[in-house]
Structure 1
Amino acid sequence: MIENITPILRADDLEATKRYYLDVLGFAVNWEVPYMLSVVRDGHPLLICDGHQGQRGTWLWIGVEDADALYAEFVAKGALIRDPPKSFEWGYEFQVEDPNGHVLRFGSEPRPGPHDAQFRG
């Protein structure tokens, strides 16, 4: 039985990445050692590793209750918005990029209406 799945993202500058996740994306530090940290938001952790374990440009899909509210929060805090909210068959989502080129896709339930949106690749 799987208990959880926690992605590990590579950071080029662990301190700068930590500041972005805390100050801009609203995460909190769960634990930290010299080469790695765990950040958590709403009880869901994400590991960030300094200079190894993975590669730049990983994509994650993160399910949220209200994509519009989170989008507004991130815009107000200066997040690097890659794509604004759009409606797809699987959900209503937007993309944020972190300082290491990782793309976080935040999505909520699908909206009624056409689902012909496209994200840039």
Structure 2
Amino acid sequence: MKLGHTTPILRIFDLAKAKEFYVDFLGFTIDWEHRFGENFPVYLQVSRDDCVLHLSEHHGDTTPGSRVIIAISGIEDFHRELNERGYRYLKPAIEDTEWGSRVMTLTDPFGNRLTFSQSKE
């Protein structure tokens, strides 16, 4: 038996704000968007490297305020990249944990937390 990749679904409320955060700030790419019709909520996939996230405006898909841990290598480079973008709503910092990781936790405009985690080893 082998488990595959996990694709978390994060609740969003505003597509423009989601794009500003996930695409313009974090550097993700929109892979696809779906709506059942005009004036319907959007469901989309964003990705960067091997990290894939689904973002949904649909009420029943998930709960706002979720948290995702994303493995990363080169956390210092990513931290520098984000700070150079000058996103006005968030100034991320790297923290060293007691369990041997370096983490950077970002909160999106919808209360979801993304913790980028790099092992110190």
The bucket for the TM-score relative to the shorter chain is 0.7 to 0.9
Matched, 1:93 2:94: no
TM-score, normalising length: structure 2: 0.81
Q: Which runs of 5+ in 2 are unaligned?
A: 36-41
**1:26-105 equivalent positions in 2, closer than 5 A:** 26-34=27-35, 35-52=42-59, 53-79=61-87, 80-81=90-91, 84-88=93-97, 89-105=99-115
Say if 1:62 and 1:106, in contact at 8 Å, map to a contact too: yes
Amino acid at match of 2:113: V
Q: Which has the higher strand share?
A: 1
Q: Distance in 2 between matches of 1:30 and 1:44?
A: 12
TM-score, normalising length: structure 1: 0.81
* Count of residue correspondences: 110
Say if 2:47 and 2:53, in contact at 8 Å, map to a contact too: yes
CA RMSD of aligned residues (A): 1.6
Partner of 2:10 in structure 1?
A: 9
Q: Distance in 2 between matches of 1:19 and 1:92?
A: 26
Q: Any idea what the Cα deviations from partners look like across 1:36-68, whole Å, max 9, x if unmatched?
A: 000000032100001421111111111111111
Q: Distance in 1 between matches of 2:94 and 2:65?
A: 20
3-state secondary structure, aligned to 2:93: strand
Partner of 2:38 in structure 1?
A: none
Percent identity over the alignment?
Answer: 28
